[in-house]
């Protein structure tokens, strides 16, 4: 799994994948001469869509590979899984999974990560699944399998581009409280489940079916995270879209909301104060902090989102 995804200052990156033999996985995975090189080039202001780049107020989102991260690659005739054979924020190497057919290197190709959550649709993209639960590892991270990427190429180079954006939710509590779950709930757009990943020209695109009813995606905090006056930031991966404030068709149901579950006080919801624009490959901060005052946000009415 692609992990250790920290937010920190980052000047540039050059990451490449080459197929070669690695003793850690030599018995499980085949290698091939020549192989695929996945090149990311320099991370610059004009290349914000590249895989390792997610700008959050000039702070870049940078990732690190784990051995056996899976990338699904198709040459439109053959579709096969490849895995990384090294760990770390380094030039990763790919090896073809044993039993998988070799894809044509010098020709049109598409690739998708994470490879376990996709199938080639036989035409121009991948049928993919966004998870309903994203795992919280520590502050400044997103869930290992929740942040998909896609590439296309006509040669031995694959540049993976982000398909989703990230919502940053900052929560403060005047008295320390344990939070076990942060959820984004929508009655407007799908935020999880089946979708189709393709390219529109040179730009990757994620298309989710229309939504009837309600969907939610949860950030599972395990045993809980203690939040006090200094605040904590939580990151949730969302499909690109405009998530509107207000209510659905003049009903009491909010179009979009953030729900927070407290270990000792149950779930409370918070409405959007402005429309929320989630953009591919960008971190978007919720308009305001969710400032929770014990006695207001926990013991009675839902707390307000305030500056």
Same domain for 41 and 119, yes or no, is: yes
Q: Residue 307 and residue 274: Cα distance in Å, rounded? A: 13
Over the Cα atoms of the chain, what is R_g?
20
Residue-wise DSSP of 131-149:
-SEEE--STT---TTS--E
- For 253, list phi and psi in degrees, rounded to 5: -85, 125
Q: Clarify whether residues 139 and 48 are in a common domain.
A: yes
Torsion angle of C-alpha atoms 44, 45, 49, 53, degrees rounded to 10: 60
- What tens digit of pLDDT does each residue of 6-41 get? 332 222 222 233 333 322 222 233 333 334 444 433
Identify the bridge partners of residue 224 per DSSP, sorted by sequence position. none
Residue 274: count other Cβ atoms within 10 Å of its Cβ: 11
Provide the residue range defining the domain that includes 303: 164-307
Q: What is the CATH number of the domain that holds 197?
A: 2.60.40.2630
Residues 103, 177 share a domain: no
Bridge-based pairing of strands 165-173 and 290-292 is: parallel
Two tokens, residue 268: 């409370």
How far is Cα 205 from Cα 201, in angstroms, rounded to an integer? 10
What single DSSP character describes residue 184? E
> What pLDDT is attached to residue 287?
76
Residue 126, classed as helix, strand or coil, is strand
pLDDT recorded at residue 286: 87
Same domain for 196 and 88: no
Looking at the DSSP assignment, which residues form a beta bridge with residue 206?
A: 197
Check if the beta carbon of residue 255 is closer than 8 Å to that of residue 188: yes
Angle, alpha carbons 199-165-250 (nearest 5°): 105
Domain co-membership, 298 together with 256: yes
For residues 137 and 180, membership in a common domain is answered with no
Residues of the chain short of pLDDT 50, as ranges, are 2-59, 297-307
pTM listed for this prediction:
0.79
172, 97: one domain: no
Q: What is the pLDDT of residue 16?
A: 36
Q: Does one domain contain both 209 and 150?
A: no
Q: Using CA atoms, how far apart are residues 235 and 242, in angstroms rounded to an integer?
A: 17
d(CA 156, CA 150): 15
**Same-domain check for residues 156 and 11:** yes
Q: What burial class does residue 94 get, using C-beta atoms within 10 Å of its C-beta: 0-12 exposed, 13-18 middle, 19+ buried? A: buried
The residue among 162, 190, 225 that closes a domain is 162
State which of 100, 133, 162 marks the end of a domain.
162
Report how many domains make up the chain.
Answer: 2
The per-residue pLDDT for 7 is 30
pLDDT of residue 146: 86
User: Can you give the pLDDT at residue 76?
Assistant: 96
SS3 150: strand
- At which of 113, 137, 162 does a domain end? 162
Considering the domain architecture, whether residues 261 and 117 belong to the same structural domain is answered as no
CA distance readout (Å), 73 to 81, 84, 113, 114, 157: 6, 13, 9, 11, 12
**197 and 243 both lie in a single domain:** yes
pLDDT for 13 equals 24
User: Per the structure block, which two tokens stand in for 105?
Assistant: 């290197």
| Same domain membership, residue 169 and residue 27 | no
Rounded to whole angstroms, the Cα distance separating 192 from 146 reads 10
């Amino acid at each position: 799994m692609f992990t250790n995804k920290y937010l920190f200052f980052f000047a540039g990156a050059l990451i490449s994948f080459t197929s070669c033999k690695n003793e850690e996985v030599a018995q499980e995975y085949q290698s091939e001469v020549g192989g695929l090189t996945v090149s990311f080039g320099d991370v610059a202001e004009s290349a914000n869509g590249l895989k390792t780049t997610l700008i959050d107020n000039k702070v870049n989102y940078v990732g690190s590979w784990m051995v056996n991260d899976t990338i699904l690659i198709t040459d439109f005739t053959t579709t096969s899984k490849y895995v990384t054979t090294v760990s770390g924020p380094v030039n990763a190497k790919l090896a073809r999974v044993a039993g998988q057919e070799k894809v044509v290197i010098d020709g049109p190709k598409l690739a998708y990560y994470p490879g376990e959550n996709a199938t080639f649709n036989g035409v121009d993209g991948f049928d993919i699944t966004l998870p309903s639960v994203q795992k919280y590892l520590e502050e400044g991270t997103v869930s290992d399998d929740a942040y998909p990427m896609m590439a296309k190429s006509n040669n031995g180079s694959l540049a993976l581009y982000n398909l989703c954006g990230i919502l940053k939710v900052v929560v403060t509590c005047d008295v320390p409280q344990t939070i076990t779950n942060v959820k984004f709930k929508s009655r407007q757009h799908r935020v999880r489940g089946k979708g189709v990943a393709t390219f529109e020209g040179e730009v990757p695109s994620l298309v989710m079916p229309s939504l009837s009813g309600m969907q939610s995606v949860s950030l599972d905090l395990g045993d809980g995270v203690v939040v006090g006056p200094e605040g904590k930031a939580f990151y949730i991966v969302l499909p690109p879209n405009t998530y509107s404030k207000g209510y659905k068709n003049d009903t009491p149901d909010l179009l979009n909301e953030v729900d927070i579950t407290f270990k000792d006080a149950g779930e409370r919801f918070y409405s959007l104060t402005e429309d929320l624009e989630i953009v591919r490959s960008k971190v978007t901060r919720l308009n305001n902090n969710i400032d929770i005052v014990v006695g207001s946000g926990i013991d009675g009415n839902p707390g307000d989102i305030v500056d």
